[in-house]
Structure 1
Amino acid sequence: MSDAALFAGPVLRRLRKRQQLTQAAMAARLQISPSYLNLIERNQRPVTARVVMQLAAEFGFDPREMQEDGSVGGIDGLARRFADERFADLAIDRDEVDELLSSVPQIAAAFARLYDSADPAARHGGDDPLVVSRREIERWRNHFADLDHSAEQLADEIRLSRGDVLGAITERLRYKHQLSVRILPRDVMPDSLRRLDLHARQIQLSELLSPESRVFQLALQIGLIEQRDAIASLVAGAEMYDEAGRELFARHLANYFAAALIMPYSRFLRACDATGYDLSVLQRRFGVSFEQLAHRLTTLQRVGQRGLPFFMARLDRAGQISKRFVGASGAVFLESEAVCPLWQATAAFGRRGELLVQNILVDDAGSGTAQWMTFAKAISGATGNADSLFTVVLGVDASLASDLASARWVASGRDEAMPIGLGCRRCHIVDCSQRAYPPAGRRLSFDRTKRLSVPFEFADSR
């Protein structure tokens, strides 16, 4: 059973109610604390193998029943479906989705089945291989334990902690795989960043790559060679029917291993805790780019050794999200196709290199229940090309951000948060001067005797 399948809170809650047990009584029979059972039922902790065995012994529980919640995808999966613009006027917030899944999980499963059958694209990502791959990544909460452990063992073996990461990785490639590294000029590699030349036994890198990108590309090459079978096994077990989607998933797994090799899990998490997740210090200590660091921070979900649940997104100058990793954060608002101009992620392009920290309150169809602390920085691509410019955004629940080094000077209270929306069509913030379109389901109101400071005025009813 995969890590993702072990998040089965509603299934356990339904079992407990069938047995007419309180949480305290059931926790006693499972030999765990009531508070831990409460976290399991809320899908904030996984069901461990020991708990599964105790369930089977005490209640004759069939572990295969835990797959039922997988069809819904937990709170995040159900919230994605309710985020459909067809439900925008209903203002369904995350708390209500949680209540539905908690109290009547079978009805929630029935809705998910009906929604998916009516809209196959919602289930399988349609013909978009990026969506297909990303949903498989999120099914694992972007944590692949076996790859992480293998990367950590290799990092210890080649002694990456000594500081010369590039030298250690280069030596590994030379002694283990008889591959040398060669840096080639742009006119020789005009369209490639990395090339494997087996005839010459060379890994050829473009001279345009930054130092941290050179290290990453070589770590990636090690992953492609040494973790080939592990990656193939994960791809084979994925619920994907699209070949391009499988290839993208495999590429993500190889990148995952490379990041895990450069930033070994235990050492990286200790550094995060010791520095208060100081982003600039972590970048320098591990010799990585801001984007590489952001990717890694979304993966820290090892059972018994968890980091903060960050999300990560990458935006281009048109406001399109080209990467999004929700991880364990539950940041459903990243599913939106539009970006709010009040989010400082959009302002980072004009303040290149500066870390913009913002406390935001996401207006999820008017509920305003999700509060995040976000960190945005504009970056160039791997080659430093000025025409290749993106903003990378990290975010974490604002309630967890008070001790973060990068946010100490930003007020984290709810009253100080900037309300933002999921794009104008799904945003019900009334007094927004940046609004481009009225929200779906709201009736416009007009008064010819005055000109308001905002583009639209709404009637009270929806």
Structure 2
Amino acid sequence: MTTHQDRKLYLGPRLRVLRRELGLNQAQMAQELGVSPSYLNHLERNQRPLTAQMLLRLANTYEIDVRDFVAGAAQADGGDLQSVFADGLVRDIGIARNEVMEVAENYPGVSEAIMRLYRALTDLREAPGRVEELTVRPVSASNAVQWLRDMLQARRYHLSDIDDAAEALAADLGAGLEAMRPAMRAMLADRYGIRVQVVEDGVLVDALWHYDFHRRRLMLSERMDEQSRQFAVAVRLAESALADRIRAEVDRAGAPDDETRMLLRRALVSYAAAAIVMPYARFLQVAQDSHYDMELLKARFGVSYEQAAQRLVTLTRPTARSVPMFMMKIDWAGAVSKRCTSDGAWVARAGGGCARWGVQRAFRQPGEPVTALVEAPDGERFVTVARAIPPRPGRAPSMIILGCPDRHAGQISGLTRMSAPPVDAIPIGPRCHLCERAGCPDRALPPVTRVLDLSDYARPASPYPFRAI
């Protein structure tokens, strides 16, 4: 019978970690221990056990505590593996503790692989709250976009310094479209020497507008509607008149790299332009008085539906704030290209992929709002309004979704065009492969975090029933 004292010690991963902590390659460590590099390689790959003589050489050469070096590995790995196999996903298999310990002690590479897979599974279970991180995008772009979203979310999508400066600038331009539009162009020309010129189709290749820095000329394509032209002029005015405020905000944010910094600067310029065209106090007053009537907001400020929707999310000034709103932009294929929320609403962070929501109906009735009352997995309810946006030159149609917690439904009747929201809430989740709602009859895929529970003797309502954990 093999006793505990006779058990062979396979501590390859521990030996490899020690070598890397010391900053040595295999040849250097082998030379210091007086063994061949091939023998050391066998030890690290657990193809040879670590003998008592080798343990003494390690202790004498690198001044390590042999007891800690030997005892820590199997105990830690065994404990971690035990928690993995106690998970509800595999608990019913009934893997004996001694089997788990044998794997931990004798197959540390396998143990590490299992732990990595389990950590990935844990991440998937948390995915409804972090679904944006799972979208398929280039890694660098995803990191930059996610950083920007996190930064703006931390500020509740309100940048007070830029907003205050933009509001003061808007006051100089005058109230109303008839005064503001020519005043913006005049200010660009008189203060900054920049002329605005509408050019014929074909002059601007693959662009709707272009700023000629050398000739100090902003060229706008004749294909642009008046709303888009106004915003392009506001962008150039923001870059000229609010340059110091924008630069200070960029420096304060501390973007991690040049790519993120450029993305941040572009977002802040757009924010400033929106704040000029839709001054905070004036825009909030009209929104509240009209119960968030989007048609009135569009007409009063000469903006698009998307511009007005995104501005609503930024109205979070502590002394004067709107209903807490969220906004999403979804393309024809169902991909979410924009998410903004002033209060971290689940729907804005993780929604958009559930077929039960029914927002795709908006594409079949362009211009008409599709109102719904939905319930998130945590039980919170939201009133949402989806509206299709007609295609623009070179762009496919998209959809804007606006919403707020249902407790504010009475304040947004101008947005929903209903005296009261629906009574019955639609339970929604993230995309099917991430959703753990049980009994969903519209499920297209089973959740990757659960085990299917199929039976030959019963046919449940859901096509992919799974076990509760």
| Shared fold, TM over 0.5 | yes
* Aligned counterpart, 1:155: 170
* Aligned counterpart, 2:262: 247
Amino acid in the other structure paired with 1:428: E
Of 169-178 and 222-231, deviating more is: 169-178
* Aligned counterpart, 1:421: 429
3-state DSSP of counterpart to 1:190 = coil
**Distance (Å, rounded) in 2 between the aligned partners of 1:355 and 1:205:** 31
* Aligned counterpart, 1:14: none
* Aligned counterpart, 2:147: 132
Contact 2:128 2:350 in 1 (8 A): no
TM-score, length-scaled by structure 1: 0.68
* Aligned counterpart, 1:275: 290
**Distance (Å, rounded) in 2 between the aligned partners of 1:240 and 1:127:** 14
1:224 to 229, 239, 253: 239
Q: Which string of whole-angstrom CA distances, capped at 9 and with x for unpartnered residues, describes residues 105-156 of structure 1?
A: xxxxxxxxxxxxxxxxxxx989621112222111211101111111111111
3-state DSSP of counterpart to 1:353 = coil
Q: Which string of whole-angstrom CA distances, capped at 9 and with x for unpartnered residues, describes residues 257-276 of structure 1?
A: 11111111111111011101
* Aligned counterpart, 1:56: none
Q: Which runs of 5+ in 2 are unaligned?
A: 1-119, 131-138
* Aligned counterpart, 2:451: 443
Q: Which string of whole-angstrom CA distances, capped at 9 and with x for unpartnered residues, describes residues 435-455 of structure 1?
A: 121124433222324555532
2:418 to 409, 419, 434: 409
Say yes or no: does 1:343 pair with 2:360: no
**Distance (Å, rounded) in 2 between the aligned partners of 1:285 and 1:92:** 38
Change (3 A) 1:287 1:242: same
3-state DSSP of counterpart to 1:444 = coil
Contact 2:331 2:399 in 1 (8 A): yes
**Distance (Å, rounded) in 2 between the aligned partners of 1:187 and 1:193:** 10
* Aligned counterpart, 1:370: 380
Contact 2:351 2:429 in 1 (8 A): no
Say yes or no: does 1:207 pair with 2:222: yes
Q: CA deviation at 1:88?
A: 6.0
* Aligned counterpart, 1:32: none
Say yes or no: does 1:259 pair with 2:267: no
**Distance (Å, rounded) in 2 between the aligned partners of 1:149 and 1:266:** 10
Which of 1 and 2 has greater Rg?
2
RMSD of aligned C-alpha atoms? Answer: 2.7
3-state DSSP of counterpart to 2:198 = strand
Say yes or no: does 1:146 pair with 2:161: yes
* Aligned counterpart, 2:396: 388
Q: Which string of whole-angstrom CA distances, capped at 9 and with x for unpartnered residues, describes residues 136-187 of structure 1?
A: 1112111011111111111111113363432121111122222221111221
**Distance (Å, rounded) in 1 between the aligned partners of 2:172 and 2:300:** 20
Contact 2:386 2:400 in 1 (8 A): yes
Question: How many residues of Structure 1 are paired with residues of Structure 2 in the alignment?
Answer: 342
Q: CA deviation at 1:345?
A: 2.9
Amino acid in the other structure paired with 1:375: V
Contact 1:181 1:205 in 2 (8 A): yes
Amino acid in the other structure paired with 1:427: C
Amino acid in the other structure paired with 1:308: V
Q: Which string of whole-angstrom CA distances, capped at 9 and with x for unpartnered residues, describes residues 188-215 of structure 1?
A: 1121222122433321011111110100
Change (3 A) 1:371 1:237: same
3-state DSSP of counterpart to 2:371 = strand
* Aligned counterpart, 1:286: 301
Contact 1:339 1:422 in 2 (8 A): yes
Contact 2:390 2:398 in 1 (8 A): yes
Contact 1:430 1:457 in 2 (8 A): yes
Say yes or no: does 1:179 pair with 2:189: no
Amino acid in the other structure paired with 2:261: R
Change (3 A) 1:358 1:333: closer
Q: Which runs of 5+ in 1 are unaligned?
A: 1-83, 95-123
* Aligned counterpart, 1:311: 326
3-state DSSP of counterpart to 1:330 = coil
Change (3 A) 1:442 1:172: same
Contact 1:326 1:332 in 2 (8 A): no
Change (3 A) 1:138 1:396: same
Amino acid in the other structure paired with 1:332: W
**Distance (Å, rounded) in 2 between the aligned partners of 1:244 and 1:137:** 17
Identity level (%): 31
Q: CA deviation at 1:420?
A: 0.6
* Aligned counterpart, 2:441: 433
* Aligned counterpart, 2:34: none
**Distance (Å, rounded) in 2 between the aligned partners of 1:215 and 1:337:** 32
**Distance (Å, rounded) in 2 between the aligned partners of 1:410 and 1:344:** 21
3-state DSSP of counterpart to 2:274 = helix
TM-score, length-scaled by structure 2: 0.67
Contact 1:165 1:215 in 2 (8 A): no
Contact 1:320 1:337 in 2 (8 A): no
**Distance (Å, rounded) in 2 between the aligned partners of 1:344 and 1:407:** 16
Change (3 A) 1:310 1:178: same
Q: Which string of whole-angstrom CA distances, capped at 9 and with x for unpartnered residues, describes residues 2-44 of structure 1?
A: xxxxxxxxxxxxxxxxxxxxxxxxxxxxxxxxxxxxxxxxxxx
3-state DSSP of counterpart to 2:197 = strand
